Amino acid sequence: MEGIRVENASYSYDNGYIAVDNVSLEIKKGENLAIIGQNGAGKTTLVKMFNGLLRPQKGKIYVDNEDVSNLTVAQISRKVGYVFQNPGEQIFNPTVYDEIAYTPRYFKLKEKEVAQKVQDAAELCNIIDYLKLNPYDLPFSLRKFVTIASVIAMGTEHIILDEPTAGQDLFGLEQQKKIIKELLKRGKTVITITHDMEFVAENFSRVIVMTDKKIVADKNKRAIFWDFEILKKSSIKQLYVSMLAKELAMKNNVISIDEFIHEVTKK
């Protein structure tokens, strides 16, 4: 199977703290899913194992059927691109252009091809106007798009976005929706970690919930948003339309404004 397969993976940090405990999951190439769950659950730690930034002490990670423990970080990063939660850990070039061009240049592409990749990624992320600027002169919210563009320019088949929605305004969220759609159209796998439940309800069907080092649910968003035990255990909240529907004892577990209106008006 092309995609990412995790078999009983565990990770503990140098201080001995176990952050991911015996987790297994399968993500097919071209899939679009969200990972949600409480702060400190182990989401970032888990996905950093997908691209070799962290190596599990126990268990296996397979990317496109290859055991990644046999690959170097440079080799894995041709397959899996990771957009850091903290842009400060990722950005180190003096201009936005150089930052996005870094990996294509590292792959020794011709400058013309590099320019094409930068153009494509910057257009998709709507940051064409900032290519000459220092990434650190941009506000935090735009800096996130610089890091997304860099990963898109790498051209990997699997892309992980760690908290892209944090601090974004409505236009930024719209842009991210577009980016995810376009990447899926190009056949990419997109894995998004987010705390924004409205964004989850609008953009994904499969949702993985992590709590306390483990995956506690992996199912359709509707099932998640109406599973009160899971919600409580993993510090998630229902959407406001769902809370309203619950208070009004409505049927059919609504998770969107349109569904709510439909329920009220159908009779």
Partner 1 sequence: MKALEVRNVTYKYPIARTNVLENISFSVNKGEFVAIVGKNGCGKTTLCNILRGFIPSFHQGKFAGTVLINEKNIKQMSMGEIAVAIGFVFQNPFIQVSGIKHSVFNEVAYGLENLGIDREEMIGRTEQILKDLKMNDLRDKHPVELSGGQRQRVALASVLVMDPDILIIDEPTSQLDPQSTEKVFEIIRLLKERNKTIILVEHKIDLISEYADRVILIDDKRIVFDDLTQKVLVNKKVLSYGVNLPQVAKLGIKFEEQTDFRLDYIPSVLTDAINVFKKYV
Ligand X SMILES: Nc1ncnc2c1ncn2[C@@H]1O[C@H](COP(=O)(O)OP(=O)(O)OP(=O)(O)O)[C@@H](O)[C@H]1O
Binding site for partner 1 (CB under 8 A): 13, 15, 17, 37-40, 44, 85-86, 88, 139-142, 163, 166-172, 195, 197-198, 234-237, 239-241, 243-244, 247-250, 257-258, 260-261, 264-265
Q: How far is residue 113's CA from residue 96's CA, in Å, rounded to a whole number?
A: 17
93 binds, among partner 1, ligand X, Mg ion, none (CB under 5 to 8 A by kind): none
Residue 168 beta carbon to partner 1: minimum distance, rounded to whole angstroms? 7
Sequence-ordered list of residues with C-beta below 8 angstroms from that of 218, at least 6 positions apart, any chain: 25, 206, 207, 208, 209
Can you say how many angstroms the Cα of residue 161 is from the centroid of all Cα atoms in its chain?
Answer: 3
22 binds, among ligand X, partner 1, Mg ion, none (CB under 5 to 8 A by kind): none
CA distances from 128 to 39, 74, 83, 113, 220 (A): 33, 28, 19, 17, 36
**Interface positions with ligand X (CB under 6 A):** 13, 15, 17, 19, 39-45, 85, 139-141
74 binds, among Mg ion, ligand X, partner 1, none (CB under 5 to 8 A by kind): none
Q: How far is residue 105's CA from residue 108's CA, in Å, rounded to a whole number?
A: 5
Helix axes 140-154, 170-185, angle to 10 degrees: 10
Other C-beta atoms lying within 10 Å of the C-beta of residue 190:
22
Residue 139 beta carbon to Mg ion: minimum distance, rounded to whole angstroms? 6
> CB-wise, 198 or 218, nearer to partner 1?
198
> CB-wise, 85 or 176, nearer to ligand X?
85
Residue 53 beta carbon to Mg ion: minimum distance, rounded to whole angstroms? 13
Residue with structure tokens 């080799």?
A: 75
Q: Which stretch binds Mg ion (CB under 5 A): 12-20, 26-34, 85-93, 100-108?
A: 85-93
> CB-wise, 13 or 92, nearer to partner 1?
13
Residue 235 beta carbon to ligand X: minimum distance, rounded to whole angstroms? 9
261 binds, among ligand X, partner 1, Mg ion, none (CB under 5 to 8 A by kind): partner 1
Q: How far is residue 196's CA from residue 154's CA, in Å, rounded to a whole number?
A: 27
Cα four-point dihedral sign 160, 165, 168, 172: positive
* 189 binds Mg ion per the rule CB under 5 A: no
Residues 195/235, Cβ–Cβ less than 8 Å: no
Q: Which of residues 144-163 bind Mg ion (CB under 5 A)?
A: none
Contacting positions for Mg ion (CB under 5 A) = 44, 85
